[in-house]
Amino acid sequence: MMKKNILALALALTAGIVQMQAQISLVNPTPQKVEAIGESLMEQPTSWNVVTDKNRARSYAVAALAESGIEVNQKAAYRITLGVKGDKCVKKYAKRIPAQSEGYYLSITDKEIVVAGIDERGLYYGVQTLLASMAEGKLQTCTVTDWPDVLFRGVVEGFYGTPWSQEARLSQLDFYGKYKMNVYIYGPKDDPYHRDKWRVEYPEAEARRLQVLLERAKMRGVNFYWAIHPGVDIKWTNEDRDALMAKLEKMYELGVRSFAVFFDDIWGEGAKADKQAELLNYVDANFVQKKHDVAPLVLCPTIYNRAWSGNGDSYLLTLGANLNKGIEVMWTGNSVVHCIDKESMEWINQRIERKGYIWWNYPVSDYVRDHILLGPTYGNGLDIAPLLSGFVSNPMEHAEASKISLYSIADYTWNMKNYDQATSWERAIRAMYPDSPEMQDALRTFATFNEDLGPNGHGFRRDESRELRGAAEQAIKGDKRAIMKLRRACSALRMACNSLLTDKKNPALRRELYPWLLQGKQLAEYGESVCMMAVLEKGKAKGHFQRLYSNARSLQEQMYELENSNVRHALQPGIKVGTGLLLPTLNKLFANAVNQYNTENGTSYDPVAEFQPFTLESNVAQIKLLPVKAQGSDVNVTPALEVITWPVDGQFTIKSERPVTLAGMDFDFGAPNTAQFFKLEVFDGTNWREVSLLHYNETETTIHTGNELGGMKAQAIRISNKSGKEQKLYFKRFKFVKQ
């Protein structure tokens, strides 16, 4: 009997702990410190008596409680006290409030709740923790003492391509507030008033839209940074300096109180470190410091990663020595797209003489637009918080889908040492469909096949379909159990795509995922046919094999046609799903099954599932990893988005598996009068022949070829820098057309 009682008590205690953890697991980011008060789990009160000081009357933290739908009744028995350190109503809790900026103390008992922040934003975050913890209608008696590890946390809308819509931005700001991110940097490359027309004030309609965003940001505790990008054509004159100051003043009048200045992805006169520092210092002294209500300036430098720093680091050292110490300096890491670790932070901090402000280029996909990135967020050091002044993520142009990664960015930057990528990703999936386990399962399944970026110019890859890796390896070796496991995975993918294609709960996500859902469904059907081909027994397969082979071939063609169809989003070059593991494995299985069948039956079915006849070689570091893609008669090198540094002997060569006949070619390096710097040669299998290059007019950036190119046979094409000087140019387009 004694043993039974002890066992019952142990089970009861375990249940209490699990219940408490279940409530806290609803909170994102993971709180720093949680202590249970007993083991009580109680129903949420139906009405609340809200107690605050008068100076919280216009508090956005108090408003957040009202927005949640909680009924406020001053006669209610259950009381909630909301205050900031210094308010009388929370005076007796002052010693329990963490001293860190944006920290808060939360106490939940069976009689009352107290939320006390070190500042207004801390109070708001305490309210968000409370609301998240009772999302399932229950309250856990506990105390939470919480604060962020990184001071500035959030998002920079800095990608190339279609900017977010107004609706998407408003949704994003709500998301940031809910998950305790305090920075949104508005810097879309395709907003002309941010970059190309930086001297020109916004038209009235655009200005009103920005004001709506500013008001929402204020209500969500978010610093709305407006970024200006003057570097493309700035003249280091008083006139241009005054034009920039005038633009900042106009934005201040609209309500902006946080500003950034970008000098990224440029070359030439605008890229001088001493001039950039001089301008930023002037703005800091004559605008930021004089306004008294403006946040510290943020600079995105021209050399924003280690790979570009050069042996002398002169640019970075100049910034570090000359730039006012209150100005933040952004940094992407060891390269344009790279994870951040302690050594790399120590390296940059020493040079810029301050803590670096990380611009992390993930989950941005503007350089791999045929992929959508839905996997876990990982790779950054868990020990770098003391070395950072800020950490912002550059997301995809697909705002809703980006929330999966941004959820984890919020978690990581708030409580870095306790960040767990798998747990955070799982919670992020649930947050996309909070009331639908069925849709959570569908999204989870689909997301596991959309993690890797595929080959790209930055060499940045992600693991994909980890749970299938062992089965994939065994399936290639002919293990039928492993093959059937792959078939079940394909079936699950097909059903997940069907569920998401008819989703009514998150229409924004469905709209963004639509091309990939269609492709995922076809990939799944292809996989089911291929797996059945691979397990057919010798001597019993003839008619069945032919039907499966025809179906697989049809699906290969349909996948290709879909990639080139109008279901794609603007600027989307293709539609890739499962390219990290599933598709390559299925193509190998297809080839193995066809070759085996041909050997056994004396047939000659084509075993090639996917053929890429073109390869690229280059001694230009930023070009050598760019993928070459053939679609119909067009052959394209994937564009690079940053400035390309061509050394004196810089060149790239595209080789063809077999000779092709050329019908045309053009390319765009982003500046006029650049044809003179390059030489184009075509190899016909025996000799290299030079082809003339020209612009049609003095202002055109596109480089065309002479008429002699048409009809040439080519096994290789080579572009070389013949100028005798290093050239800094863009790589916006390279295409040739074959007959």
Residues 458 and 597 in one domain: yes
Q: Give the Cα separation of 620 and 616 in Å (integer).
A: 11
State the pLDDT at residue 21. Answer: 52
Q: For residue 502, give its domain range.
A: 447-601
Looking at the 3D structure of the chain, how many domains does it have?
4
Residue 626 lies in a domain: yes
Q: Give the Cα separation of 46 and 65 in Å (integer).
A: 14
The domain boundary residue, chosen from 146, 161, 183: 146
Provide the CATH number for the domain around residue 44: 3.30.379.10
Residue 122 lies in a domain: yes
Cβ atoms of 403 and 374 within 8 Å: the answer is no
Residue 438 lies in a domain: no
Residue 121 lies in a domain: yes
Residues 135 and 165 in one domain: no
Residues 55 and 197 in one domain: no
- Residue 639 identity: P
Residue 430 lies in a domain: no
Residues 567 and 682 in one domain: no
Q: Give the Cα separation of 3 and 710 in Å (integer).
A: 90
Provide the CATH number for the domain around residue 625: 2.60.120.260
State the pLDDT at residue 539. Answer: 67
The DSSP output letter for 130 is H
Instruction: Pick the catalytic residue from 119, 264, 265, 284.
Output: 265
274 part of the active site: no
Residues 163 and 274 in one domain: yes
- Residue 219 identity: M
State the pLDDT at residue 724. Answer: 95
The 3-state DSSP class for residue 100 equals coil
Residues 514 and 627 in one domain: no
Provide the CATH number for the domain around residue 277: 3.20.20.80
State the pLDDT at residue 75. Answer: 87
Q: How many CB atoms lie within 10 A of CB 608?
A: 10
Residues 285 and 394 in one domain: yes
Radius of gyration of the chain (CA): 29
Q: Is 90 left (phi over 0), alpha (psi -120 to 50) or beta?
A: alpha
Residue 166 lies in a domain: yes
Residues 452 and 391 in one domain: no
The domain boundary residue, chosen from 124, 146, 168: 146
N-terminal to C-terminal alpha carbon distance within the chain: 88
State the pLDDT at residue 457. Answer: 92
Name the H helices within 195-284: 204-219, 238-254, 273-283
Q: Give the Cα separation of 150 and 181 in Å (integer).
A: 10
Q: Which two tokens stand for residue 455?
A: 């080959």
Residues 173 and 319 in one domain: yes
Residue 441 lies in a domain: no
Place of tokens 């440029």: 266
Q: Where are the beta strands (DSSP E) in 119-278?
A: 138-146, 152-157, 183-186, 223-228, 258-262
State the pLDDT at residue 2. Answer: 41
The DSSP output letter for 707 is G
The domain boundary residue, chosen from 146, 175, 194: 146
Residues 211 and 314 in one domain: yes
Phi then psi for 265, rounded to 5 degrees? 55, 45
Residue 543 lies in a domain: yes
Q: Give the Cα separation of 314 and 334 in Å (integer).
A: 17
Residues 631 and 518 in one domain: no
Residues 623 and 518 in one domain: no
Grouped pLDDT means (10 residues each) for the chain, 739 residues: 42 39 79 84 87 91 90 89 97 97 96 96 98 89 96 96 96 98 94 93 96 98 97 95 97 98 93 97 97 96 92 87 97 97 97 98 97 98 98 98 98 98 97 96 98 95 96 97 98 98 97 98 98 86 88 95 92 95 97 94 90 88 89 88 92 92 93 94 93 93 93 94 94 92
Q: How many CB atoms lie within 10 A of CB 284?
A: 21
Provide the CATH number for the domain around residue 533: 1.20.58.460
The 3-state DSSP class for residue 53 equals coil
- List 260's β-bridge partners, or say none: 227, 298
Q: Which two tokens stand for residue 233?
A: 């054509």
